[in-house]
Structure 1
Amino acid sequence: MRVALHTTVRPDRIEEYEAAHREVPVELTEAIRAAGARSWTIWRSGTDLFHLLDCEDYAGLLAALESLPLNIAWQARMATLLDTAHDYSAEGHEAGLPVVWEL
């Protein structure tokens, strides 16, 4: 399944956000893949961040990562950079953007 998300980075933290994503811990990317993600791409337009995830089960992915200490630490780091963060709670799977059109 594909899931599109929208988050926002703080205007004064864009460079730091992008720098953080150049050094995502390998252990975290391995955990994300183990949780069922096949790919995850983030695009930025100004302060808007658009995510596209391809995964087996988005709710399952969130459940697997929500209490993972490595992800908790990463999300704490991201919380200092974002105005709107990715929701890893049980209700987070409902945060996906609705599909309007597909080709």
Structure 2
Amino acid sequence: METIALHTRIALGHEADYVREHQKIPEDLDPVLRRAGVHSWRIWRDGRDLFHLVEVEDYRAMRQMLAASPANQRWQEHINQFLEVADSYAGDDTGIEHVWSLPGTGTRP
């Protein structure tokens, strides 16, 4: 299991849109995320900055599977209109670098 942190940024003036659109994701997206190995995906917002925490079996495999998924492609096309930089799922990113964990939590880099 991997825990991956991500950062994205909402386009100016679209904060409420982004939050509204995440009140309920498309019904066909949930099973796709789960088949891709996602156990949980949480998002926090600080102004226009978004911080994601993803618990997933294999992050790179998940990215490849989602890149090929019509349900995810539709969602990305929709949600990316509210973001500063669209996510194409083309890269092989590894998320935000993990620097430190409180000892004893079991989440060391």
Q: Root-mean-square deviation (CA), in Å?
A: 1.2
- Structure 2 distance, partners of 1:52, 1:92, is 17
- Structure 2 distance, partners of 1:84, 1:102, is 29
What does the per-residue CA deviation read over 1:1-43, in whole Å, with 9 as the maximum and x for residues that have no partner? 1000000001211111111101201210111011000000000
Question: What SS class does the counterpart of residue 52 from structure 2 fall into?
Answer: strand
Question: Which one has a larger percent helix, Structure 1 or Structure 2?
Answer: 1
Aligned match of 2:105: none
CA change 1:85–1:52 in 2 (3 A) is farther
- Higher Rg: 2
Aligned match of 1:62: 63
- Structure 2 distance, partners of 1:87, 1:3, is 18
Give the aligned residue type for 2:15: I
Gapped runs of 5+ residues in structure 2?
Answer: 103-109
Aligned match of 1:20: 21
- Structure 1 distance, partners of 2:73, 2:66, is 8
- Structure 2 distance, partners of 1:87, 1:52, is 19
Aligned match of 1:10: 11
Give the aligned residue type for 1:99: H
Aligned match of 2:36: 35
- Structure 2 distance, partners of 1:60, 1:9, is 26
- Structure 2 distance, partners of 1:4, 1:85, is 17
Aligned match of 2:106: none
Question: Which one has a larger percent strand, Structure 1 or Structure 2?
Answer: 1
- Structure 1 distance, partners of 2:15, 2:5, is 20
CA change 1:81–1:92 in 2 (3 A) is farther
What does the per-residue CA deviation read over 1:54-92, in whole Å, with 9 as the maximum and x for residues that have no partner? 000000000111021111111011121000344512x24
May I ask how many residue pairs the two structures share in their alignment? 101
Give TM-score, length-normalised by structure 2.
0.87
